A and B are shown apart, each in its own frame.
Chain A
Amino acid sequence: MLNCFPDPDVGGSMEPPCKKRKTEAFGTFTWELMPVLSDERSGEVELLEAYAAPIINKKQTSALVKRLAEVYPLSNLPHIKRVRPCKDKKSDHPLEIIICLHSDLNSTDALNGKVSLSDLFPEGNVDVTGLGDPFQVKIPAEQPLTRLQFEIASQHWPTSFHENKQVTEALRGQLFNIEEKAKMQTFMEKAIEVAKVGKGLGMEPVGAVMVNPASDRIIAVGHDCRNGPNPLLHAVMVCIDQVAYGQGGGAFNHDKYPQCYFRSAEPFLGDDVVSTAKPLLLSDDHILKGTVTNRLPYICTGYDLYVTREPCVMCAMALVHSRIHRVFYGTSSPDGALGTKYKIHTRKDLNHHYVVFKGLMEKECQLLS
């Protein structure tokens, strides 16, 4: 099984930095690839109102943490670091501690204006020795998932953060080197080329290319056929069916459209082939775990799809059913299901998730319609 969260030390050795710098020097692409992350990852940092107080005497800290945890355990906020060093270096106290959330207090009177320690501990049964006057702060409601979220969250109050390096690199546009980008561009150029062929046949100008990233081979190519005999034959559906043909199956007759074609499936050669394919896991599950070695591929497991525009709900869900690995699309669609109207690829309640990037040759793809 592939490790989704490589140890930073180990993971760093996977790609020698010198190699990367050398290749990046020649990089000139007119497009930028952006990951389409789940709402939890791409969303803003939600904040909660809370009360904190300075710790006047540093030696009281551990005792205060213990006492406060009994009264206000903050059990829904495990990511919050209860104590933070004081921001203002000139301050007369070194540390500050979270006491409770606004919502922890029963009395609505205490919500406005200045509060005192006796407002926060109305029972009077807590030893508040060492605490200064309470003040209001905003603290992050959830654990940050991206570095950007972490940076924003930390401005309010320190939180724990388990960085997913791939997400960070992806968001900075550093996930792929020039060779990888050049390959991606080649595959998208093919998709654009067939989209134009389809358009010439009176179809919607959409093209799709299925690639096995382990061998960088094109497995299947399809253009939109919806204005032919079957209105559901969007480019993605055509491409999925062409993959099926390559595996000895298939359901439609594509003879009328010679630009829609497939290559016969090759058996996986062994562990090596799978492991050299760079695992790209921007979601939290093990995407490639279903890939079996020394066997014919199962539907689209482990494959990448390049499609000129964002798939609709039907196509996006068809890709879930087909166990796709990654999707790269050029431009967004008004009812698109991989970022615009839905994020089908990140839904926790579905049984398969995949990674999506948008913006690959965006301008060229926009020009198609």
Chain B
Amino acid sequence: MEQAFSTAKGALENGEVPVGCLMVYHNEVLGRGRNEVNETKNATRHAEMVAVGHVLEWCRQKGRRWQEVFKDTVLYVTVEPCIMCAAALRLLNIPLVVYACRNERFGGCGSVLNIPADDLQHTGAPFQCIGGHRAEEAVDLLKTFYKAENPNGTFAFSNTAPKSKVRRKE
């Protein structure tokens, strides 16, 4: 989780939403990602999707099947995966996700929808979630970002930052 946080800080330095994550397979970090939406002009380049790309590349280099690798891979991420990423994680059959703070606006693991638990026969496998570890720190990071982006309170994401929206999981 420490590493996920430092990755998130990297996003902050690059003007991206500070979300960072790690994909760990048998105690080995195979993928690391931070939000790259502005850089790529692709709104789907969330930290999780970036990390998935790294794991796939590792699989390619090692000649491993991604199906075998992801089913033993744990995702550590600073913010609850959004609905899109939660569905992606299902499609990859990732068994466990550990996250810090909740994502009240887009959260796909309970906050808005509960994608890992829903009955979706054709969308991979359900997964487990553990939330709340260092939540306050993750919220503070987001707040720093939105404060910097939005000195006048008019930025589109301004209402993400306040406590009311990004609530901590106690």
Contact = CB atoms under 8 A, between A and B. Distances in A.
A232 B42 contact: no
A342 B106 CA distance: 15
Interface in B65-115: 66, 82-88, 91-92, 105-106, 108, 112-113, 115
B3 interface: no
B11 to A, nearest CB: 15
| Interface range on chain A (Cβ under 8 Å from partner) | 35 or more
A249 B91 contact: no
Contact of A251 (B42, B120, B121): B42
A314 B56 contact: no
Contacts of B105: 350-351
Contacts of B53: 230, 251
Interface in A232-283: 232, 237, 240-241, 243-244, 247-251
Given A229-B56, A313-B87, A351-B105, A335 B121 contact: yes
Nearest to A324: B43
B40 interface: yes
Interface residues of B, number: 36
B159 to A, nearest CB: 9
A88 interface: no
A321 B43 contact: yes
A232 B49 contact: yes
Query: What is the predominant secondary structure among interface residues of chain A facing chain B?
Result: loop
Nearest to B60: A229
B6 interface: no
Given A231-B92, A350-B106, A318 B123 contact: no
B41 A317 contact: no
A335 B92 contact: no
Contacts of B108: 313, 317
B112 A244 contact: no
B102 to A, nearest CB: 13
- Specify which of B86, B106, B108, B121 lies most central, judged by the most chain A CB atoms within 10 Å of its CB: B106
Q: Nearest 8 pairs between A and B by C-beta?
A: A249-B41, A317-B84, A314-B87, A244-B42, A313-B87, A321-B43, A317-B83, A335-B122
Interface of A: 229-232, 237, 240-241, 243-244, 247-251, 290, 299-300, 312-315, 317-318, 320-323, 333-335, 341-342, 344, 347, 349-351
